[in-house]
Amino acid sequence: MPSLKDLKNRIESVKSTRKITKAMQMVAAAKLRRAQESAEAARPYAERFNAVMAGLAASVGGSDSAPLLLRGTGSDQVHLLVVMTAERGLCGGFNSNIAKLARARAHELLAKGKTVKILTVGKKGRDAIKRDFAKHSVGHVDLSGIKSVGYANAQDIARDVLARFDAGEFDVATIFYAKFENVVTQVPTAQQIIPAAFETDGEGDEVALFDYEPSEEAILADLLPRGVATQIFSALLENGASEQGARMSAMDNATRNAGEMIDKLTIEFNRSRQAVITNELIEIISGAEAL
């Protein structure tokens, strides 16, 4: 049975931990608001851009004059998986869920005899992936020194991916990230970016009725690289909001768990102290009766 001093030290230690987790929760809540606003502000542009691109892609179809980024290499033998996670932990299952989805896709492709290459963005994704797929890693993007992710960071990643595609290093590229739904829900998502895959809808059909100057092929050749950067930027923003939401939820759970542990330790401390006092009273009474 632990002594009163040990129990008191444990209570003080858990109280200190609760202060830290509470402070981290408040910081994550403040960052979440900004990250969520950035992610939500970028969604209309990304959706409208994809609608325009879908219309152009539908009008071009599978013609030989279509840009390579749209029609692809004609093969799907080599896959590049771009796994985007956070630089820090303490955010629940945010990083592990993205890595789990990427690992499942990698195992699925390898089982089909495909070649898998992995580009990681974020330290936690690299650490989770390298245990099983170290030999498949082809690069890493470090964003630890960046406080707020901007479009320029997405352009740097897009240039790296496009350079690898132009060099013939892969046929299909897919990004992995977490789409922000709310504070408690972040959905791990896999999105193909090369060859460009656009969902055609009503807006895309309307766009296809316009006449473009220059041709649709020329416009696509100019816009598709920007489209890759836009999709990566949107994923980075979704990841940022998801990370802070997951951290806020995880620190809230940790704070409440610490409070419950403090209550249990306090009850145990009081019972132990009461037992000590009772024993002392018994010894005093016994000594008095003996005299």
Among 43, 113, 107, residue whose Cα is nearest residue 81: 107
Neighbouring C-beta atoms of residue 242, cutoff 10 Å: 31
Neighbouring C-beta atoms of residue 42, cutoff 10 Å: 17
CA atoms of 155 and 103, how far apart (whole Å): 25
From the candidates 32, 81, 83, 91, give the one annotated as an active-site residue.
91
CA atoms of 206 and 275, how far apart (whole Å): 81
CA atoms of 68 and 168, how far apart (whole Å): 11
Q: Report the DSSP beta bridge partners of residue 117.
A: 80
Query: Length of the chain in residues, anyone?
Result: 291
Known active-site residue 266: no
216-290 helix and 94-111 helix, angle to the nearest 10 degrees: 130
Question: Which residues have a catalytic role annotated?
Answer: 91
